[in-house]
Structure 1
Amino acid sequence: LLVLGHFYSASAEIAGTLYKQRGIPAITASATSDSITYENDWYFSVLPSNRLISEFIANYIKSGLGYKSASLIYANDPHGLSLSESFIQHAQELNIQIKGQWSFDREDRKLNDRLSYITAQLRAMDDPGIIYCAAYPIEGVKILAGLKFPGTPYTIIGPDSFSTPIFIKELLAYPKERIIPGYHSDGVYTTIPFMASIDGQKTRRFREEYLKKYRQEPSWIAACYYDAIQVAVKAIENAEISGQDLPGDRRKVRDALQRFSDIKAAVNGVTGPIYFDENGNYPRSMNVGIYNRRTLSPAFIQYQHLSDIGEESALTHGLGDNIISIGGKMMTRTKIVYVGSQIIEVRDLNTDSNTYSVDFFIWFRFKGEFDDKQIHFPNATSRIRLDQPVYEDRSGNITVRAYRIKADFKSAFDYYRYPFDEQRLFIRFHHNFMTRKRLIYVPDSAGSPKNLMKNGLAEKIGHGLPGWHINDISVYQDIERFMRGEKQFEVAFSRFNTDIHVSREKSNYLLKIFIPMFTLLTVLYLAYYIPISELRLRVLLILSVPIGNAFYHIKFTSLYSGGLLDYAYWAIYALTGAALLATVVTHSLQKRQAIKPARFMTVAEKIAHPVLVLAFGCWLGYRYFS
Structure 2
Amino acid sequence: MPEEIDSSIALTRRAVESRESDPSRARELLGAALAADKAYEPAWRWLAELVDDDGERRFCLDRAFALEADPATGRARGALDGVAPVPPAEVVDLVDPPRPEEPAAVGRSGRRAVRSWVAVGAVVVVLLGVLGVWTASGSQQGDPVYVAMVAGMTGPAATASRHMENALRMHLETVNKAGGVNGHPVELLVYDDADDVGKATGIAETIVREDRVVYVVGHGSSDTALAAAPIYQRAGIPAITPSATSSRITDSSDWYFRSMFGNRTQSDFLAVYVADVLGARSATLVHDTDESGRSVREAFVDSFGKLGSASATLPLGDGTSVDEVVRAVDPTAPIVLATTEERGLAVVKGLRAAGVQAPILGTATLGTRTFHDALLKAERETGRAGQLTRNLYVGTPLANDSLSGPALAWAEDYQRRYGEQPLWQAATARQALNVGLHAMGTRGLVFTEDGRAQDRRRVRDGLAALKDKKNSFPALLGPLYFTPTGSAQMPVSVVTSDGTRFVSAPVQLTIYEPPSPDALRAALADGSAIAIGDRYLSRRQVVSTGINLNEVRDLDTRDGTYFVDFFLWLRYTGDPVAADVQFVNAVKPDLKLGQPLRDVTEDGATYRLYRVGERFKSGFEFRGFPFDHQKLVVMLQNRSRTADQVVYVTDKEILNEEPSHYLRSGADADAGINQIPNWVATSARFFQRTVGSSDALGDSDGASGIYYSQYAGEVEIARDTLPFLVKNLLPLVLLICVTYLSLFFSASDGGAPVSMGVTAILSTAVLLNNVTSQLPSVSYTVALEWGYYAFILLAATCVLVAMLRKRLAGTGHEVAERRLSKAARVGYPVYLLGVVVTYVVAFGT
- Report TM bin, short chain: 0.7 to 0.9
Give the whole-Å Cα distance in 1 for the aligned partners of 2:551 and 2:282: 51
Which position in structure 1 is the counterpart of 2:111? none
Q: Secondary structure at 1:344's aligned position in 2?
A: strand
Secondary structure, aligned partner of 1:333: strand
Query: Which residue is equivalent to 1:60?
Result: 273
For residue 530 of structure 1, the aligned residue among 719, 741, 745 is 745
Please show how residues 337-352 of structure 1 align to structure 2 within 5 Å. Answer: 337-352=543-558
1:107 matched to 2:318: yes
Aligned CA distance change for structure 1 residues 403 and 151 (closer, same or farther; 3 Å): farther
Q: 1:160: which partner in 2? A: 364
Partner of 1:361: 567
Provide the rounded CA distance (Å) in 2 between the counterparts of 1:543 and 1:65. 81
Q: 2: distance between equivalents of 1:367 and 1:59?
A: 19
Q: Aligned partners of 2:755, 2:230: CA distance in 1, in Å?
A: 88
Q: Quick check: 1:132 aligned with 2:336?
A: yes
User: Bigger shift: 573-582 or 146-155?
Assistant: 146-155
Q: CA deviation at 1:323?
A: 0.8
2:797 matches 1:586:
no
Structure 2 residue 541 is the aligned partner of structure 1 residue 335? yes
- After the TM superposition, which residues 112-127 of structure 1 pair with which residues of structure 2 at under 5 Å, given as runs? 112-115=322-325, 117-118=327-328, 122=331
Q: For 1:573 and 1:250, locate their aligned partners in 2 and report how far apart those are by CA, in whole Å.
A: 48
Matches within 5 A, 1:196-595: 197-198=401-402, 203-204=407-408, 207=411, 210-211=414-415, 213-229=417-433, 256=461, 259=464, 262-263=467-468, 269-271=475-477, 272-278=479-485, 281-282=487-488, 284-307=490-513, 309-316=515-522, 320-372=526-578, 374-382=580-588, 383-447=590-654, 459=669, 460-481=671-692, 484-485=697-698, 490-534=705-749, 537-560=752-775, 562-595=781-814
Aligned residue for 1:590, secondary structure, equals helix
* Structure number with higher strand proportion: 1
Q: Is the 8 A contact 1:182 1:292 kept in 2?
A: no
Local SS of the residue matching 1:330: strand
Aligned-pair Cα RMSD in Å = 4.2
Alpha-carbon distance change, 220 to 311 in structure 1, aligned in 2, over 3 angstroms: farther
Show the counterpart of 1:125.
none
SS state of the match for residue 371, structure 1?
Answer: helix
Contact 2:400–2:503 under 8 Å retained in 1? no
Matched, 1:189 2:393: yes
8 Å contact from structure 1 (residues 45, 281) kept in 2: yes
CA contact (8 A) 2:372 2:502 kept: no
Question: Do the aligned partners of 1:25 and 1:250 also contact (CA within 8 Å) in 2?
Answer: no
Which deviates the most, 405-414 or 319-328? 319-328
Q: Quote how far apart the aligned CAs of 1:361 are.
A: 0.7
Change (3 A) 1:608 1:449: closer
Q: Is the CA contact (8 Å cut-off) linking 1:430 and 1:496 kept in structure 2?
A: yes
Deviates more, 1:531-540 or 1:128-137: 531-540
User: How do 1:597-616 and structure 2 match up within 5 A?
Assistant: 597-616=816-835
Instruction: Please identify, of 509-518 and 209-218, the stretch whose mean Cα deviation from structure 2 is larger.
Output: 209-218
Aligned to 2:220: 7
In structure 2, what is the Cα distance between the partners aligned to 1:457 and 1:393? 21
Preserved contact between residue 445 and residue 455 of structure 2 (Cα < 8 Å): no
Of stretches 152-161 and 89-98 in structure 1, the one that deviates more from structure 2 is 89-98
Whole-Å separation in 2 of the counterparts to 1:242 and 1:536: 60
CA distance in structure 2 between the partners assigned to 1:70 and 1:472 by the alignment: 46
- Ranges in structure 2 where 5+ consecutive residues have no aligned partner: 1-207, 209-214
Check conservation: 2:761, 2:796, Cα contact below 8 A: no
- Whether the 8 Å CA contact 2:379–2:387 is kept in 1: the answer is no
Residue type at the aligned position of 1:285: P
Secondary structure of 1:582's match? helix
**2:286 touches 2:313 (CA, 8 Å); kept in 1?**
yes
Alpha-carbon distance between aligned partners in 2 of 1:231 and 1:202, rounded to the nearest angstrom = 16
TM score, norm. by length of structure 2: 0.63
Give per-residue Cα distances to partners, 1:315-364, cap 9 Å, x unaligned: 45798521122341212222221211111111111223322111111111
Give the SS at the match of 2:686: strand
Partner of 1:218: helix, strand, or coil? coil
- The structure-2 alpha-carbon separation of the partners of 1:177 and 1:37, relative to structure 1 and needing over 3 Å to count, comes to farther
Distance 1:619 1:65, change over 3 A: same
- If asked which structure has higher relative contact order (CA below 8 Å, sep 6+), I would say 1
Return 257-266 or 432-441, whichever deviates more: 257-266
Given the two structures, how large is their TM-score scaled by the length of structure 1?
A: 0.83
Asked whether the equivalents of residues 52 and 326 of structure 1 are also in contact (C-alpha less than 8 Å), the reply is no
Alpha-carbon distance change, 289 to 611 in structure 1, aligned in 2, over 3 angstroms = same
Q: Given residue 826 of structure 2, which amino acid in structure 1 is its aligned partner? A: I
The C-alpha deviation readout for 1:451-473, integer Å capped at 9, x for no partner, is: xx9xx857453332111111111
Quote the Cα distance in structure 2 between the aligned partners of 1:566 and 1:313: 56
Paired with 1:319 and 1:552, the residues of 2 have a C-alpha distance of: 70
Alpha-carbon deviation of 1:40? 6.6
Please state how far the C-alpha of 1:284 moved relative to its aligned partner: 3.8
1:442/1:624 CA distance change after superposition, 3 Å: same
Which ranges in structure 1 are unaligned for 5 or more consecutive residues? 123-127
**1:419 Cα shift?**
2.1
Residue by residue, what CA displacement relative to the aligned partner does 1:257-310 show, whole Å, maximum 9, x if unpaired?
Answer: 9956943776664454332445x6445432212122252222222222234624
Q: How many residues align?
A: 611
Q: Deviations over 1:135-160 (max 9, x none)?
A: 43323211211334899853211222
Inter-partner Cα distance in structure 1 for 2:625 and 2:397:
43
CA deviation string 1:354-402 (max 9, x = no partner): 2211111111121212325531212211132211212233332222211
For the pair 1:618 / 2:837, whether they are aligned, the reply is yes
Give the secondary-structure state (helix, strand or coil) at the position aligned to 1:464.
coil
- Equivalent residues in 2 for 1:90-101, closer than 5 Å: 90-96=303-309, 101=312
Distance 1:88 1:592, change over 3 A: closer
2 CA distance for matches of 1:21 and 1:448?
48
Q: Which moved more, 1:356-365 or 1:159-168?
A: 159-168
Letter in 1 for 2:519: S
